[in-house]
Structure 1
């Protein structure tokens, strides 16, 4: 079961670190929003949900290593927090991104790939578009995922914001 970012209980697993290999992403930048973040590697939690960066790393996004490597066919998925208990996080302003904006992903070998935003979508966590975000695609795609929407009774956002982009 693959779910979106900020899934209740989804952020408790330990993120996988270490330096990025040549074709793995090491940094994400969104010039139009002033975002520039190193990337940690993320896996899955014991309940098969996708890990999110730990709350104390709110200004650091993470690449889900079960997704495509950026620049290869398929969807590379980068997850980041909108906010933490300490305040704004790396993807706090992601709701301001527009179609046509550029997202730069630097790989471990120093090559920078430029992706162009093709659209955004808000989805209820209960209806997260798993196949659309994580599923196979013929294009070289990028997905950014963060929390969005109102808070539930436990204080967790009820939606995810997904940004769709393709290699320019």
Structure 2
């Protein structure tokens, strides 16, 4: 399988998987009208063409599997499991009964390496919020720290947080190739309906701005 075909397969699988969030907990336990935080328009990218310039002093890393994701601004500190494709081509998701677990497609870009790395997490589960429940509360300038198997920690700075409906999900914008090390965090969001569950996805865009030793961060 050539690289471009594998990328397209990964994109299609990820979109399918992230859209499958029923929000069962919201139906029975959350006050009417209350839902996970959603990003404000101020956190969106100014335009498709305006992204921060890469710092030439920050060199992308060699590929290495991610082990842990930490987002201090929303108190996330979660292990990363590897995800594969299911028989039908959809991407596996982390177990719904584990509220503090994220997932990374192991055949995709590793966080810190050149390209667009994807880390997904549930917004909630049957008995309460999950690891990415507060993803929509993040702001530009907040950081995401990814501990890697090689002992390094890739630190990403958020430059946009956007929310999309399922029917208008911009595949190319979210999953498209990049010539620098970028990270996308994805969960369900975009409003909620008792009949249809979550209506879209929250996507955090971040780029590599620092590399340090995991033991020293």
* TM-score normalised over the length of structure 2: 0.67
Structure-1 residue corresponding to 2:184 = 143
Secondary structure at 1:131's aligned position in 2? helix
Q: State the number of aligned residues.
A: 156
- Conserved 8 A contact 1:4-1:125: no
Q: Does 1:39 align with 2:39?
A: no
Runs of 4+ in 1 over 6 A off after TM superposition: none
Contact 1:28 1:103 in 2 (8 A): yes
Residue 123 (structure 1) aligned to one of 150, 164, 188? 164
Distance 1:30 1:72 in 2: 19
- Of residues 197, 201, 214, the one that matches 1:160 is 201
Shift of 1:141: 0.1
1:59-107 C-alpha deviation (Å, 9 max, x unpaired): 2011122321111110110000111111010011111111010100000
Q: Relative to total residues, which structure has the larger helix share, 1 or 2?
A: 2
2:20 to 8, 18, 40: 8
The answer for the alignment partner of 1:17 in structure 2 is none
Alpha-carbon distance between aligned partners in 2 of 1:47 and 1:78, rounded to the nearest angstrom: 21
| CA contact 1:43–1:51 (8 Å) conserved in 2 | yes
Structure 1, residues 29-87: CA drift from partner, whole Å, max 9, x if none? Answer: 00111100000011223332332212112320111223211111101100001111110
**Within 5 Å, which residues of 2 pair with 1:1-168?**
1-2=12-13, 3=15, 5-8=17-20, 23-152=64-193, 154-168=195-209
- Structure holding more strand per residue: 1
Task: Tell which structure's C-alpha radius of gyration is larger.
Answer: 2
Gap regions ≥5 residues in structure 2: 1-11, 22-62, 210-217
RMSD of aligned alpha carbons: 1.8
